């Protein structure tokens, strides 16, 4: 299991995890293994002093509604504009994308922080969940897909992970600066490399 490098000030970090709805505890366990503290984010005040923020999987429509209700959408955008890294997983990735395709047509994403298009439930509903090895900039990685969106890079976003060619080769992991989006669930894989990448991104210069 990867462990933090000696050069990283991991103990001084606090990673926020949006906790309005969705899977929170699995991410908390990964960051605990990496030595970083976590804070559940439910209000604007919870954003104060964070090193980075995670948008977990869940139900993107419900999460979008709560973001607007508690004015967290504008507050999170301001934090990211100020340099805070952010990482969205599955439903969290949908929130980050600039365009979202769904049954009602194409709409802007709730946060629109990465130039990319998400298509909800592109790989099937809950009973179509699957696992497969992915190709990523970190090497082969176990991908766990649960009601996963398809991600299509637009503009300046870059592909940092995709399905293998025999499975179609689609993008599943995107990055644009300090904004990351993944359609799969590395927090369930037992492999901490992707979360460690985020910890490194959150480390003070």
- Tell me the average pLDDT of the chain: 92
First to last CA, the chain: 25
For residue 102, the model assigns a pLDDT of: 75
Q: Tell me the C-alpha distance between 173 and 171, whole Å.
A: 6
Q: Which of 11-20, 100-109, 118-127, 157-166 has the highest mean pLDDT?
A: 157-166
pTM of structure: 0.92
- How do residues 124-138 score in pLDDT, each as one tens digit? 776 778 999 999 999
From the list 28, 38, 79, 185, the catalytic residue is 185
For residue 90, the model assigns a pLDDT of: 95
Region 152-163: mean pLDDT is 97
Region 150-161: mean pLDDT is 97
Give yes or no: 90 in active site.
yes
Record the tokens describing residue 22, joined without a space: 């969705």
From the list 28, 38, 79, 90, the catalytic residue is 90
Record the tokens describing residue 144, joined without a space: 């766990």
From the list 28, 135, 152, 187, the catalytic residue is 187
What residue spans define the domains of the chain? 11-202
Q: 167 to each of 104, 123, 160, 178, how far by Cα in Å?
A: 28, 12, 17, 28
* Domain 11-202 classification at class level: alpha beta
Q: Tell me the C-alpha distance between 59 and 134, whole Å.
A: 24
């Amino acid at each position: 299991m990867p462990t933090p490098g000696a050069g990283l000030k991991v103990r001084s970090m606090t990673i926020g995890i949006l906790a309005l709805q969705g899977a929170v505890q699995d991410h908390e366990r990964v960051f605990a293994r990496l030595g970083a503290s976590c804070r559940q984010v439910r209000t604007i005040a919870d954003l104060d002093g964070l090193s980075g923020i995670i948008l977990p999987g869940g139900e993107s429509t419900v999460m979008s509604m709560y973001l607007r209700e508690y004015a967290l959408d504008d507050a999170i955008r301001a934090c990211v504009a100020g340099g805070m890294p952010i990482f969205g997983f599955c439903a969290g990735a949908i929130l980050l994308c600039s365009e979202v395709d769904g049954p009602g047509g194409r709409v802007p994403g709730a946060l629109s922080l990465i130039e990319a298009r998400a298509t909800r439930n592109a790989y099937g509903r809950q009973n179509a969940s699957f696992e497969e090895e992915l190709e990523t900039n970190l090497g082969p990685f176990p991908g766990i897909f649960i009601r996963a969106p398809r991600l299509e890079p637009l503009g300046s976003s870059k592909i940092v992970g995709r399905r293998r060619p025999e499975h179609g080769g689609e993008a599943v992991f995107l990055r644009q600066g300090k904004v990351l989006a993944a359609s799969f669930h590395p927090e369930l894989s037992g492999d901490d490399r992707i979360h460690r990448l985020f910890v490194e991104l959150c480390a003070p210069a």
